[in-house]
Structure 1
């Protein structure tokens, strides 16, 4: 029992008011101060209502903040984990200071070790040709690649990188609609100039319902009105002899290719068929005659021609490899 001088009122302690205020802003601190204020108020016979409310609010908000923080930490830890074929979670090693993207690979054909290694090369080139500083491209269990970038790489460029790999403009053999300089040019039937290759960090873009793809040197742009007539996955075999690559198509594709090249060869100026992948145009020869049997050759066209890189790109095309963004570490 407490005693009070007649004619006086019991006042709420300042600590109770402060604890309620802090319970909203800093729940844990408000909770502790609320408990202290409640004990002191009981000792001197002051009202305990505000201190009690502070304890309740501090408790509820502390629990909420704990759950939120736990979810954030859990999300950060599991952002770069995936399930292995056995169903167990596998941690993907990512440098702490790096910005990274996790790419999940799927393929129409076999995604064996050689194809996966070739895909690593394609992905690295895709980034470096855009001027991105790649720290590593690491293969993980579950057919995924972790691409780690320097921390100064912008988030916007990383986003474009993932989008351009996930939705390449064309993967396979496409008929060339027009050829213009890499700096941009006029396409018959269109008033605007095509964008310069320097403005296309990943070498391709949709433009006025057409597709513009740059060559490896950014010196030439190839414009396509339609998608691939023969998909890259119809490449059955690629063999190398010195600086010459022999490409063999599947039997069904060979028939289609024979008909197609026959149509182009009958034109006065011939026509061009370009082999296109996520990184640009590999080759775009002018068709001078019918190609039967589904066999043709690609030979080195200059000092910048990298035979092994071309083999890797054709291997990825033939396997029908596609990329999708499974996770990212940016900001």
Structure 2
């Protein structure tokens, strides 16, 4: 197979693409893959580190308000379409797939104009602008949340899950809490606002720390690399219990997750794919700062199935955080029930499913 993948801007678009590429290489080891990303996105650094050939386009997203920048955006888009056509003609792919982000708009649209088979993958329950635009042109659309189906042409939609889930489900964990100075036989809650941290989650957790120090369960608080120093300074005067550990970042998160009794964090598509693939009860605090409030819709898909609790950012404070965590950490049966429901939602073979749909498009 000769495959072009395009997706960028955030890890939510990039990591599912990388999981798909891994599966393609597993199924068809002789495959040739090219990744097309943007000059601005995280993919510029992440993808080449994986040894995947990478081409970049200078492109940017639209402003949601009236702005002169949008005229520049249109110009960059049209140029990126022309540049994409040149790359596609040189590479001669069997199929081009976009995993989201504005760069994939130019690449997949260019492939369509050249009569190349095309697909997109939508990770969220609310469809992004780029995938809305591309949906009229592509041959098939893979979705990770069933709620997204109604926002696309029905004849093109296939539910596949999020490819990142398959990587999470396949990890064999040898992790022990003793590596962090905690006890291996005590249930542990992970509070994690993302790699950069989340200010409101951090503030509420800091205010709750003295209460957590009196609990029998353990707390691993991951602040985000950019916020760690500030958090440590704020907590510097407090006497914390031995059941509390604070870290800026966790490099081996996939290995740790199977050992977590409860996770508290945002409701991004990649996080939820990992949580449900493994089957972890969760307390979700959707970010209100994302497009179309899609994290709230993502979170509700778990809450409605009894797999998670949800606290809105407006309702989040030390009191609500402690109450919700206590509710689950003091009730093992409830956690086990939620874990079962979480795993029932998960799609641990999502990358394989997406590969199979892609292969069927090529063969059609």
Which TM bucket (shorter chain)?
Answer: under 0.3
When normalised by structure 2's length, the TM-score is 0.19
Larger of the two Rg values belongs to structure: 1
Instruction: Please identify which structure carries the higher strand content.
Output: 1
Determine which structure has the larger helix proportion and give its number: 2
With normalisation by structure 1, the TM-score equals: 0.20
